[in-house]
Structures are given as C-alpha cells and as structure tokens.
Amino acid sequence: MSHEIRLAVLLSGTGSIFEAVLASGIRVTLVASDRPCRGLDVARVAGIDTELVDRRHYGGFSASFDRVRYTARLLESLSARDIELVAMAGFGTVLSSQVHEAYPMRILNTHPSLLPAFPGWHSVAEALESGVDVTGCTVHFATLETDAGPVIAQEEVKILPGDTVDTLHERIKQAERVLYPATIRRVIDHIAAATPVHTPEGARR
C-alpha cells in the first residue's frame, strides 16, 4: 500500500490545465496563486484548500518585487500542508532558490514549447514567428534556471496555416491537458513506490 502524495498546484490564470489534472482523478491538496484568478475559483468550487499569496504585497510586477520574501511566504504555505510535490500550471512568478532547495526535483512545470526551443513567457508567439512547422509542450522538473530543468515528457503539435497565437496556444493546451496529468501521475507513482510506508506494527512494505 502506498501513501497519497500531497500535491500542490501553483497557477496564475485560467486554470484549464489544473482542471484537467483534477478531472484525471489526481488528488490535489492545495492550490496556490500569486494573483486573483479563475484557477483559484475553480479550486474553491472543487472544495480544495486555496491560498492567494498576492505578489502585489511584495512589490507586484515592479523592479522592487521582493522575490526572496515572496518565495519564503509561499514556502510557508507549502510546508504548513506537508506538501511533497509541486506542479506549476501556468504560474506567473519565477521563484527564488529556497523553493528548489526545499523541493529538489519535486517541482514540475508544463511549458508550451518543445524545450529547449522557445523558453520564456512568449514561447507560442516565438514559435509561430520563427517559421517552424512543429512546436508542442514539455513537462519538466523546474530548477532555478527558468525552463531549463530535466525534461520528463514532450508532445508535438503541428503549426497549421492561418494559426494565430491564440489558436496555436489552445491546441498546445489540448496536448498539455493530456500530457501533464499523465506525467504527474507517473511522478506520483514513482515517489510513492520509493517511500517506505509504516504499518501500525511498524513493519515496512
């Protein structure tokens, strides 16, 4: 018998990838956000514990944003719930090193390009402008260097004539809504299989 991994999802937007994670049956312990957004509302309606750690209280999107203090506060939310695995699903804040020290190879991200191609915030537009025929999505472990951690899974998405950033991003998201839940499930199973479970008698699995 394996224990249920305590998963937190970090998001900032629509939350459609998060909805797909939920629909897949993966149990989510906490949804945290850096701004008020639809994704938080979806979590509340689903009866999931939510926490808004609002960037605006830490300098917002200005040069004075206190990334270290923000990350420390978010980390408190994760620790308070004994979170074991973190899945970023459209989270708009780059976190500082403490979170990676606390959760080494335990933070997942989904990115709308075939990394290492087109890292960063504008990956869909850049793929479209570059003239490539195929882009896609990548699930990877997040590390301090943005969009550069070890790749776990990728899915190709063809760029079609007449595609706009919106139509292409939506088709990429359709792929992410399948790939991300499946990959999170694989990682959860891997962690659970590697974690000793204590029975009431103290015997190990």
Beta-carbon count within 10 A of 78 CB: 22
Beta-carbon count within 10 A of 50 CB: 18
Q: DSSP per residue over 57-124, as a string? A: GGTTTSTT--HHHHHHHHHHHHHHTT--EEEESS------HHHHHHSTT-EEEEESS-TTSS-STTHH
Residue 110 in the binding site for ligand GRF (CB under 6 A): yes
Nearest-10 crossing angle of helices 16-23, 38-45 = 20
Task: Out of 3, 57, 111, 122, pick the active-site residue.
Answer: 111
Active site (annotated) includes residue 111 = yes
Residue 98 in the binding site for ligand GRF (CB under 6 A): no
Binding part of the chain for ligand GRF, among 14-22, 56-64, 75-83, 151-159 by CB under 6 A, reads 14-22
Residue 100 in the binding site for ligand GRF (CB under 6 A): no
Binding part of the chain for ligand GRF, among 10-18, 44-52, 66-74, 186-194 by CB under 6 A, reads 10-18
Residue 90 in the binding site for ligand GRF (CB under 6 A): yes
Residue 89 in the binding site for ligand GRF (CB under 6 A): yes
Which is nearer to ligand GRF, 125 or 192 (by Cβ)? 125
Shortest distance (Å) from residue 13 CB to ligand GRF: 4
Nearest-10 crossing angle of helices 123-130, 165-194 = 120
| Number of shown-chain residues binding ligand GRF (CB under 6 A) | 13
Nearest-10 crossing angle of helices 165-194, 16-23 = 40
Shortest distance (Å) from residue 76 CB to ligand GRF: 24
**Residue numbers 113-172 binding ligand GRF by CB under 6 A:** none
Which is nearer to ligand GRF, 85 or 136 (by Cβ)? 136
H helix or E strand, kind and range, residue 18: helix 16-23
Nearest to 155 by CA among 109, 105, 115: 115
Given 35, 106, 140, 173, the residue binding ligand GRF (CB under 6 A)? 173
H helix or E strand, kind and range, residue 178: helix 165-194
Residue 176 in the binding site for ligand GRF (CB under 6 A): yes
Q: Which residues are catalytic, by number?
A: 111
Residues that bind ligand GRF (CB under 6 A): 13-18, 89-90, 110-112, 173, 176
